[in-house]
Each structure stands twice: as C-alpha cells, then as structure tokens.
Chains A and B, each alone.
Chain A
Amino acid sequence: MFTPPLDALLVLMIATPAVGWIAYKKGYRKVQGVYASACLVVVAYLLYGLYKEVALNGVILIVGQPPFNPPLGACLEIDMLSVFMAFLYVIIGLFTTAYSIKFMERDSGLTQYYTLMLGLVAGMTGVVFAGDFFTLFVFWELMCLTSYALVAFRKQRWEPIEAGFKYLVMSAAGSATILLSMSFLYGMTGTLNFAALADSLTNAASEGWLYITLALVIVGFGIKAAIVPFHTWLPDAHSAAPSPISAMLSGVMVQTAACALVRILLLVFGSAQPAWQMTLAVFAVFTMFGGNLMALLQNDLKRLLAFSTIANMGYVLFGFATVSHYGLTASFFHIMNHAIMKTLLFLCAGAFIRKTKTRDLRKLRGIGKVMPLTGAFFTVGTIAIAAFPPLNGFWSEMMIIAAGVRAEMIVFSTLTLANMALSVVYYFRLIRIIMLEKPTKVSKRATKAPVSLLIPMLVLAFLCIFIGVYPGPFIGVSSKAAEAMLNIEAYIDAVLRGL
C-alpha cells in the first residue's frame, strides 16, 4: 500500500507486542531488541529494492485508492531525496536499536520501547515519502507521538517527565501551527497536494495571506527543527531521554523537520523565494550562534551535545538557504555526517553514563583513561564534528562555507566560519576533560564497556574515518538527493502523469 519498506515497518511495529508477549511467556529478556534490529535489516533490504526502482524511474507516485487520484486523494511521492533520508533513518535506527539491547536491559517496558522505536522510524520515513500535506501530517503526528513517549520513557524519574511535558507542549503547539497553515493553503487553492499547490498557489493567493502562511509554516516546522528562538525544548528533551533515543532525536529527527520544511518552501512557496531565502539564512546564523554560545557554558555532557546539535542545524539550514545545487549537496552531506558523528557521540556518552550514573562533566573527568576504547571512539567523533581534515565533518562543513561564497552570501559564510572556529573550543574542552585529565573518584569506579555496546560505536567510528578518507561516493549520493529536491518539474510531472 505505502511501498514495501514503509509497509514492512508499520506491520512489524504493530507485531512487536506479540513478540514481546512470547518473550515474556518464555522468560527471554532480549528477544524484542533482536527482533527490532532484524526488522530494520529487512527494511534496509526492501529500501534497497525501492532505491533501484527510483534510480530507474526518477520519481515514483503511489496512489492509495484508484478513483481518488491526486490532487484529490492522498499520495506518496518517492524520489532520490526520500530514499536518501530513509536510508539514513534505517541505518541510524539499526545502530541505536542494536545498542539498546544491552543498554536498556535493566529497564521495564521494553516491548513498548521497541514498538515506539520502530514507530519513530516509520513516522520519519513517511514524512519524507509524503506527496501531500495530508499524508505528511499523518506521519508527522506518528513521529511526534512516538518521540514524546520515548523522551519520557523512564517515567520513574522527574527529569524525563518534566522534559517530556515541555517537549510535548511546545511541539504540539508547532503541529497545530502547521495544521493552521495547511488550512490556509487549502483555503487559497482547494488542494493539499504539493505538486498541485506549486501549480496553483502563485495565481490564487493574495500577497498578504501568502506571507502569513509562509510565516506559520516556518514557525511550525522550525519548532521541530530547533531553529533558535524555538529551540528551548531540545536541550532538555535530548538530555533527559535515554541515550539511544537522544541519538535518534538529534541525529535524524531534527533533520527530518528541516528537510520537510525546505521541501515545502521550495515546492509550494517557490514564488516567494527571495523572502524565505533571506529569512532562512538569518535564522541559520542565529541558530549557529545560539547553539555554539550556549554549548560553551554547559557542564552537562548530553546537554552540551544537544546544543552542538542546534549549532549543526544552523550549518545545515545555511546550506539550504543558498538554494543552489552545490549548497543542497553540502547540506545533505552534512546531514549524513552529522547523523553518524552525533549518534557515535551520544552512544559513547551513554556508555559513560551507564557506568557512572552521572552526566556532570566535572565528575566525568578522565573517564577516557578508565574506558580506553569508548574514550577513543568518543575522541574520533569529537575530532570529526570539530571539522578536522582527515575526518568526515571537515568535508561537509567546508562545502557549506564554499556554497555560501558561491551564492554570494559572503557575510553569512564568514559568520559560519567564525562559528566553526568557536565550536572547536568546546569540542577540545570535551576531549581534554574526557581523555587527558586525571580520573576522579566517580570515573575510577567505571569499568570497561561491554562488547555489545562497543560494536555499534566501532562501526560508526569506522564510518567517520572512511567517509573522511574517501568522500567521493557519499558526496555523489548527496548530490543526487539535492538534484531530486531541486528538480521541481519532475516532481510535478509525476502527479500529472498519474492522472
């Protein structure tokens, strides 16, 4: 119905409780985690099939009920961008799920945990597959609901509950804003299909309403994408959630919102491009400064990483704001690199926290000497995200700056470069605290991380180095995604062909 990978995700997600029940009856504790990881492997295989089909046809259109063809009915439109992002979700989901098997073993409610985890992956995949606002909203809400529940998963403690409630209130207000903007678009044109909207919005809309709707769209998606005035939920939610969930949220979910926002801006609001391009660039700079300056002040490991996510969102948005093929390539490449690096860092942080029961950097001093392998992987991730040459972060961040220069946004490029220099300060502070200082009493109590936690980190650290040494094919894939996003005519054609 919704293409094989998404169908498989939804069906396997609903089947998780049955697996959990059998595991409970038989007394096995780890079956659900293994099941969820196996599911994601299957989904990755199905996604590869879809990729081949997309590579052959360009854009695929999936229609639900034949008499209600788009633009009347709901549809999915899948192009290279959707497949690229979906691959990222499934791969990062696979690593975090495999990590969770050991990490979450002492928690109760594991069946719900893995159901929600698969639901989160399904929701994000649906958001990038959607061909109209209706489908997008349904999957958007699936993504939001599962992430609220996952942030507040350890409900016995005060922090996840409080952070979860704050996140829920802000994010639900954002969803309502998106819904209101959808209703205005619907009122102006009578359709919610992206392609049909792109076609008819330019003639139908009065200038005033168009800009009001544009503002509502940017605010609504911006709350989820952690653009700076709307970012306040992110540091709390990311530091209160269990570490694999933090990795999922900051590695891919925030980027999903940015991706959906830019797709909508490019497709639907193409006529107002000068207005939103400048807005996006200004917001991007605010986001970088907000994230980097706040990260300098943090003494909480996961909170620091969360603020660094906000800063990296700024870089990605700046790449998008150039609206050139090169800039979009840089942004997608950075989304991929950031997902890998940030997942690695959060997984390492999770291993530290699991042993020491604290996130305070003052107590975690010198823990890298007690847990050498985890410390080494953490250092690789930190150097990569600080954009040092042999690793992957360097290429994408340099590409973003170069894209700004090419698009004649020199001032913004300079500010981005200044921000990257600023961020090196706190990344090096992290390395110094974790690796070089004398172990404190708390960190001396830690023992080496178990192998099942180390394997996902090892693979991610290897990917960091591999992409850094050999970036060609990965830039090629990002370039294809950028091409698909900019090729608006093919996207509109797919709907017209379907009629």
Chain B
Amino acid sequence: MIPLNYYIACAVALYLIGMYCLASKRNMIKLVIGLEILINAAHLSFIAFSAYRSVGFIDPLGHSIVIMSIGFAGCVTALALTLIIYAYKHYKTLDVRKLRRLRW
C-alpha cells in the first residue's frame, strides 16, 4: 500500500500547480482549469485522509463532502464559462490581459 504521505505531497503539489496556473496563464479557459486543479487537490487530500483513517474502513464523511464539492465545482465552472462566453462576445478574445480595463 502506498503511504499516506505520498498522497498529501501530491495534493499539495496539485494545489501549487493550480495557483501557478492562476497566476501565470493568459487564457480564460485555462484559468478555469486552474480552479478545477485547485479544488481537485483538496478532493484528493480528503479522499486520502478518509481512506487511511483506520485499517479496512473508509470514513464516509470525507466521501460525502467530496461528492457535494464536486457538484459545487461544476456550478462554479458553469458560471465561469458563461461569463467567458459573454466576455468573448465583447472582446473577441480569450486573453485576460486584453480585457484589463479594470486594474487586475
């Protein structure tokens, strides 16, 4: 069995990748993908912790919160994509830097 630490290291790495993606990418769709990576880092961490709580038993609390959270992540993504469609109609581009009429 793979030790728990590897999963946690992986989750933290995913979190950092997501943050890097949000900070550096210019494409709006890629920003949404970055958000998904961030949320999935937390999901992985939850699932790993719930599986390793005790031997031979998986805690349902971690799983239930992950299922709920997947639903919310779907809602957020849908809303973000809707906004992206409207932004694209206005600016004819997906580049975030082009639509910086507001200071970011």
Residues on A lying within 8 angstroms of B by beta carbon are 72, 134, 137-138, 141, 144-145, 148-149, 152, 155, 158-159, 161-166, 168-169, 172-173, 175-177, 179-180, 182-184, 186-187, 190-192, 232, 236, 240
Number of interface residues of B (CB under 8 A): 43
**Do the beta carbons of A192 and B61 come within 8 Å of each other?**
yes
Q: With A183-B49, A187-B45 known to touch, is A162 a contact of B80 (CB < 8 Å)?
A: no
**Chain A contact surface mostly:** helix
**Do the beta carbons of A180 and B11 come within 8 Å of each other?**
yes
Q: Give the docked Cα–Cα distance between A466 and B60 (Å).
A: 52
Chain B residues in 8 Å Cβ range of A165: 28, 80, 83-84, 87
Nearest B residue to A144 by beta-carbon distance? B76
Chain B residues in 8 Å Cβ range of A180: 11, 15, 38, 41-42, 45
Q: Give the docked Cα–Cα distance between A179 and B18 (Å).
A: 14
**Do the beta carbons of A172 and B35 come within 8 Å of each other?**
yes
Most buried by B among A145, A164, A177, A179: A179
Nearest A residue to B4 by beta-carbon distance? A187
Q: With A137-B69, A179-B42, A186-B61 known to touch, is A155 a contact of B86 (CB < 8 Å)?
A: yes
Q: With A183-B45, A187-B45 known to touch, is A134 a contact of B79 (CB < 8 Å)?
A: no
Chain B residues in 8 Å Cβ range of A191: 61
Q: Give the docked Cα–Cα distance between A168 and B81 (Å).
A: 11
Chain A residues in 8 Å Cβ range of B15: 176, 180
Which of A134, A144, A162 is in CB contact (< 8 Å) with B65?
Answer: A134
Which of A72, A155, A176, A236 is in CB contact (< 8 Å) with B18?
Answer: A176
Q: Does B17 sit within 8 A of A, measured CB to CB?
A: no
Q: Give the docked Cα–Cα distance between A184 and B49 (Å).
A: 8
Most buried by A among B45, B102, B103, B104: B102
Chain B residues in 8 Å Cβ range of A144: 76
**Do the beta carbons of A162 and B41 come within 8 Å of each other?**
no
**Do the beta carbons of B49 and A187 come within 8 Å of each other?**
yes
Provide the B58-71 mask, 1 if CB < 8 A to any CB of A, else 0: 01011011001100
Provide the B91-104 mask, 1 if CB < 8 A to any CB of A, else 0: 10000000101111
**Do the beta carbons of A158 and B22 come within 8 Å of each other?**
no
Within 8 A of A (CB), among B27-66: 28, 31, 35, 38-39, 41-43, 45-46, 48-50, 53, 59, 61-62, 64-65
Chain A residues in 8 Å Cβ range of B62: 183, 186
Q: Give the docked Cα–Cα distance between A172 and B35 (Å).
A: 7
Query: What distance in Å separates the Cβ of A65 from its nearest Cβ neighbour in chain B?
Result: 12
Q: Give the docked Cα–Cα distance between A400 and B15 (Å).
A: 38
